Amino acid sequence: MAKIYRDEDINIDYVKNKKIAILGYGSQGRAWALNLRDSGLNVVVGLERKGESWKKAEEDGFKPLFTKDAVRDADIIVFLVPDMVQKNLWINSVKPYMKRGADMVFAHGFNIHYKLIDPPHDSDVYMIAPKAPGPIVRRMFESGYGVPALVAVYQNVSGSAFEKALAIAKALGCARAGVIETTFKEETETDLFGEQVILVGGVMELIKASFETLVKNGYQPEVAYFEVLNELKLIVDLIYEGGLVHMLKAVSDTAKYGGITVGKTIIDDHVKMNMVKALERIRNGEFAREWLKEYENGMPTVHKELEELRNSLIEKVGNEIRKMIFKKA
């Protein structure tokens, strides 16, 4: 079993007197900047332009700087802009201006693992990956709790890169829940795999296929929506709260038997083979290359699929169902 690091195991002094430049003020950037500041650390926000993020940072009490100015005397530089733009940000606005020996920190291993960014040999390079979207990281912190995180070290020039990663994880509130050591490779490949085969891709296609099967066989779209999508949240909540056995204990005996016996015929060996293929594309870099090309071309596949989904029956039915469910009495 992996060792779990908690608040009492971690010394925040490793980063206490460091100037930390947070690059980006989106979902994760805002959460990191606010949590680290509230934990007593010295934070500056670096942005490429004066837009909505700049305005939001000012509203939150920061005095944002342009990226090149934010990194000039920063001891720790945290890349919290989207994966696809980190390389250009590094080349144009960070590398020419950063202080020699400054730490480079990431929340996801994509750009380091696939060698899109080649860090200086005299910099510590490490990662803290909170396992939740930024708004949840912030909300849990404010509530006195935290979300779990993974930490990893790619370059340990100082000899204390791991300790600094843990210290930042603690300042984010993650050590309240627990922090586990990993590698850039493991975090990147498992994160992409999870997104593609279950969290986003897998569950979405399973919902769509289930809905379409019921509707094509003569069942009302509204009834189909309740059965294959609306109730899914309730099931996932049960799994989140107590695991798979906890969920099975909470559903009817009929649901137990049907789920246990039929589920395996849906997610069968053929599906598992497709999962292995998806994993191999992640591991050999094929997916990363394909995604970067898609982004450079303006994301035509993403826009096309979103438009088709937006106009689909399941979305139209869902919009009406949600109006009914969330209508105030």
> What is the pLDDT at residue 327?
75
Note the pLDDT tens digit of each residue in 102-113: 999 999 999 999
Q: What confidence category does residue 2 fall into, taking pLDDT thresholds of 50, 70 and 90?
A: confident
Q: Give me the catalytic one of 108, 113, 121, 246.
A: 108
Higher-pLDDT residue of 329 and 178 is 178
**Residue 231, annotated as binding a ligand:** yes
**Residue 225, annotated as binding a ligand:** no
**Residue 315, annotated as binding a ligand:** no
> What is the pLDDT at residue 329?
58
Higher-pLDDT residue of 240 and 326 is 240
Asked if the model's pLDDT at residue 45 lies above 70, the reply is yes
DSSP E strands, the chain: 4-5, 19-23, 42-47, 65-66, 76-79, 103-106, 125-130, 149-155, 179-181
**Residue 27, annotated as binding a ligand:** yes
Asked if the model's pLDDT at residue 297 lies above 80, the reply is yes
Asked if the model's pLDDT at residue 328 lies above 70, the reply is no
b/e map of 215-242 (b: 16 or more CB within 10 Å)? Answer: beeeeebeebbeebbeeeeeeeebeeee
CA distance 47 to 23: 6
CA distance 73 to 102: 9
> What is the pLDDT at residue 6?
95
Residue 108 annotated in active site = yes
Q: What is the pTM of this model?
A: 0.92
DSSP labels, 240-303: HHH-HHHHHHHS-HHHHHHHHHHHHHHS-HHHHHHHHHHHHHHHTTHHHHHHHHHHHTT-HHHH
Asked if the model's pLDDT at residue 1 lies above 90, the reply is no
> What is the pLDDT at residue 113?
98
Note the pLDDT tens digit of each residue in 50-88: 999 999 999 999 999 999 999 999 999 999 999 999 999
Question: Structure tokens of 43?
Answer: 């934070």
Note the pLDDT tens digit of each residue in 182-238: 999 999 999 999 999 999 999 999 999 999 999 999 999 999 999 999 999 999 999
Note the pLDDT tens digit of each residue in 249-266: 999 999 999 999 999 999
Cβ atoms of 15 and 171 closer than 8 Å: yes
Cβ atoms of 214 and 206 closer than 8 Å: no
Q: Which of 138, 83, 77 is nearest to 108 (CA)?
A: 83
CA of residue 186 relative to chain centroid, distance: 14
- In the sheet where 65-66 sits, what is the strand order? 4-5, 179-181, 149-155, 125-130, 103-106, 76-79, 19-23, 42-47, 65-66
> What is the pLDDT at residue 295?
95
Say how many C-beta atoms besides its own lie within 10 A of residue 304's C-beta. 10
CA distance 61 to 47: 15
Cβ atoms of 62 and 43 closer than 8 Å: yes
> CA 50, 83, 54 angle in degrees (round to 5)?
15
**Residue 26, annotated as binding a ligand:** yes
Q: What is the mean pLDDT of the chain?
A: 96
Number of H helices, E strands in the chain: 17, 9
Q: Which amino acid is at 229?
A: L
Note the pLDDT tens digit of each residue in 125-134: 999 999 999 9
Note the pLDDT tens digit of each residue in 78-104: 999 999 999 999 999 999 999 999 999
**Residue 227, annotated as binding a ligand:** yes
Q: What confidence category does residue 11 fall into, taking pLDDT thresholds of 50, 70 and 90?
A: very high
DSSP code of residue 207: H
> What is the pLDDT at residue 324?
86
> What is the pLDDT at residue 32?
98
Determine what percent of the chain is predicted with pLDDT higher than 90. Answer: 97
